[in-house]
Amino acid sequence: MPSISVVSFSPHERFHLLLCELDDTMFIVDCGWPLDTLYSDQPDDTGKLRTAKTDTRLDPRDALSTINWARVDFIILSNYEQMALLPYITEYTEFSGPVYATEPAKAYGRCVLEEGLSAALQGKASATMQGGSSSSMASTSNRPQSSWNHTANGWDKWQAQLPYTQRDIVAAMEKITDVRHNEVISPVPFVQVYTRSSGYSIGSANWTVEYKNHRTAFISTSTFVTCLHPQEWDSKVLSDAQAIVFCDAVDPASHEDDEVGAARSNAQVLQRINQLCSTAISTMKQRGRVLLVGEPYGVTQDIFQLIAEHTQSLNLPPPQFIFISPVAERTLQYGNIMGEWLCESKQALLYLPEYPFADKDLRQKNHLHFVRSLADLATRNIPQGNWFVVVPPHDTATIDYFVRQWKQDAQRCSSAELASGTGMAKFAVLMHDDDVARSQSLVNRLTVSSEITYVPVSRRLTYHSIEQSLASATHAQHVLMPSPVYARLSASASKYEFKMFEYSHLQATTVDLSADRHLPLNIQKEMTQQIKSNGKQCAVVTGLLSLAAGKIRLEYPEGHGLVQTLTASAGSINNDHSAVPMSSLPRDLSVWTPEKLADELNEIGINARVVVDIPNGTAAASSKPELQSTSQPVKLIKIVVPGGSATIHMHGGWSVDCTSVSAQWTVMDSLRRVLKCA
């Protein structure tokens, strides 16, 4: 009986590093770690970070050293936020297996890693200058200035803030295998892996790992929101999984509204983005300047797009859009290059002469500028006037500079200058990061609270949306959640048929993937008898299964076999033993119509459709004597499920024709659910 073990190594709820073990198969789901904990604190004399809260800010070396990397078979990455430790894992451990991610996750992930490395080097350079050191940064850029070096005792000693170099990032990216949504890959024998869109960012993925006919879904950072530019959430990841592992949920402090549903999520996200845009437009109408604190990807791209559209629709002079980041130019271009990974509305624009984003038009008009750092800004000739500046939240030095400079300009601006339009007295600071703790820390260090507009745009799944999504987990037997999520949802676990488990930091949680979706007992006995009489080890049901008065029974015409045993060759052996005569089955399902049954099956996640069949000359007519006397079309229900298909006959009594045991389990269990709820 297969089992799955999950151990969480990242101490932060938003970032994941899950070590999973399926029998003898071991793999890693995501390599996330909070980057700001790596480059915001300096190491102490022992080589460990100076941290105020050791339970939430840990040295990743201590966690990763407990993993036997030689036994890890493969790594799967969900989005660009969950790649912080990948270069260290691929370059400084014994891991040698494949790494899988979508093309956009790989491209954006490299940008995130390079931006973090740049921030760490800038922070170290600033610390060196403040300490009065005259050593040159150029002399240390090529040696492992930002990596762990091996010492005589075999352990790594902390040398700088980030555990990798630019060379390590390039090498790690070359080891990633690109995959597409719904593509099936087999990293090791007997294991199949495929991915579906999580809706969170361009190329973001939720993974399904199939092992011994058991499917385990890993739900990484996801969202139901459909009003942004990434491809939408694909709910099929839940409907066909027997075990589900949720990785995170949004901080309740950043999600004030408890209402759920995709429509409500869209309305709330749009409301918050519009609030930020309204503040920016209002400031620029008064010839002011705007500072947007946000990464040059994700929601920042949607806010930038809306502000550019609003200024054009209101006939306002377009401001000078300035992105201060070493990767901003690439990240904005990826939106068009990887157009097939966008939402449907953006994909539709790819087939028109229009460009899906505003950056191309602004670049042609010389209103869009990309600056690698604040030092490079002094060398650029950017027109004065309305500025819309985008700065990453970790670049606190640049944020402090603009706030201090603009505040001084506002104090020096005279009424005459303001009247003539040559002075700048108005400015605004916009923040949308849904990491409340990080944003609040940044707000506290800025001394212009009246000019700061903090509106967290939270897109991740909430506790309530997770509970809502479980309704579509029709095949789920086990659901694993982080301890904070489990604490909020465990009270409602009794209303589900699956079992709910929790996992916590550095604690192993193991569950047995038992197949508790069994056939009814009377059918199992008949199959066992047929298997024993033929001396076989397994059997496949290819005949008819009957429903009568809500009970599932064997049904087939006299003189025809139902159970067929598998042989080494393509042939099969029929057994003529009669289990249940058709005449003894009661008929008590006349209230159901094919349309009603198909709708109910679709409601619980089964792909069912009604088709019209003419009985004459068909297999359905030959197997039912009562249908042979008429040539009138009859309605059948066709069902397609993982592992096979089925046909439900409802004329003159119900019967189900299944092509495989796995399809039989799925269809019969679904019918049992429908009849039970009716």
448-496, pLDDT tens digit by residue?
Answer: 777 899 999 988 998 888 988 888 888 888 999 999 889 888 888 778 8
Average pLDDT of the chain is 77
Q: Can you tell me the distance from the alpha carbon of 301 to that of 232, in angstroms, rounded to the nearest whole number?
A: 16
Tell me: do 440 and 466 sit in the same domain.
no
The CATH number of the domain holding residue 326 is: 3.40.50.10890
Together in a domain, 17 and 106? yes
- Residue 335 corresponds to which amino acid? G
- Rounded to 10°, the helix 299-313/328-337 angle is 80
Domain stops at, among 429, 454, 479: 454
Whether residues 401 and 487 share a domain: the answer is: no
* C-alpha to C-alpha distance for 213 and 281, rounded to whole angstroms: 55
pLDDT score for 443: 86
User: What's the rounded mean pLDDT across residues 62-83?
Assistant: 92
Residues 6+ apart with CB under 8 A from 173: 106, 109, 110
Predicted pLDDT at 293: 95
Say if CB 204 and CB 78 are below 8 A apart.
yes
Which has the higher per-residue pLDDT, 431 or 618?
Answer: 431
Give the separation between CA 271 and CA 621, rounded to whole angstroms. Answer: 58
Residue 644 has phi, psi (to 5 degrees) of 160, -165
Task: List 244's β-bridge partners, or say none.
Answer: 217, 479
Asked if residue 471 and residue 436 are part of one domain, the reply reads no
Same domain, 194 and 240: yes
CB atoms within 10 A of CB 215: 20
Strand order in the sheet with 572-574: 539-541, 563-566, 572-574
Q: Would you say residue 191 has pLDDT above 50?
A: yes
| 195 shares a domain with 332 | no
Q: Based on the domain organization, do 119 and 194 belong to the same domain?
A: yes
In a domain, 255, yes or no: no
41-55, 165-179, 572-586, 595-609: range with highest mean pLDDT: 165-179
CA atoms of 637 and 648, how far apart (whole Å): 5
> Residue 173 domain-assigned?
yes
The predicted-structure confidence for 321-375, as pLDDT tens digits, reads as follows: 999 999 999 998 888 788 889 988 888 877 776 667 878 888 888 899 999 988 8
If asked whether residues 508 and 528 sit together in one domain, one would say: no
553 compared with 582, residue with greater pLDDT: 553
- Assigned domain for 94 exists: yes
145 and 76 within one domain = yes
Q: What CATH number has the domain bearing residue 171?
A: 3.60.15.10
Token pair for 411: 């104090």
Rounded distance between C-alpha atoms, residue 90 and residue 98, angstroms: 10
- Burial-class residue 76 by CB neighbours within 10 Å (0-12, 13-18, 19+): buried
pLDDT category at 96 given cuts 50, 70, 90 is very high
Q: Range with the lowest mean pLDDT among 156-160, 463-467, 601-605, 626-630?
A: 156-160
**Judgement on whether residues 436 and 576 belong to the same structural domain of the protein:** no
**What is the model's pLDDT at position 217?**
96
Which structure tokens are listed for 243?
């075990």
Asked if residue 19 belongs to a domain, the reply is: yes
Question: Residue 21: which region, alpha, beta or left (left: phi > 0; alpha: psi -120 to 50)?
Answer: beta
Residues 243 and 388 in one domain: no
* 668 within a domain of the structure (yes/no): yes
3-state secondary structure of 619: helix
Q: Evaluate whether residue 256 is within a structural domain.
A: no
Please indicate, yes or no, whether residues 206 and 60 belong to a single structural domain of this protein. yes
Last residue of a domain, one of 512, 547, 578: 512
Q: 423 is in which domain, residue-wise?
A: 262-454
Token pair in block for residue 220: 């990484």
Cβ neighbourhood burial of 619 (10 Å; 0-12, 13-18, 19+): exposed
Task: Give the model confidence (pLDDT) of 234-277 as tens digits.
Answer: 989 998 899 999 999 886 655 555 455 566 778 889 999 999 99
Q: Does any domain span residue 530?
A: yes
* DSSP secondary structure letter of residue 319: P
- Domain closes at, from 405, 426, 454: 454
Residue 648 lies in a domain: yes
Residue 43 is encoded by which pair of tokens? Answer: 């190491």
pLDDT surpassing 90 at residue 126: no
Residue 207 CA neighbour count, 13 Å, CB half: 26
Q: Which one, of 103, 91, 269, lies nearest residue 165 by Cα?
A: 91
More confident residue, 534 or 285: 285
Are β-strands 387-391 and 320-324 bridged in parallel, bridged antiparallel, or unpaired? Answer: parallel
Per the structure, how many domains does the chain have?
A: 3
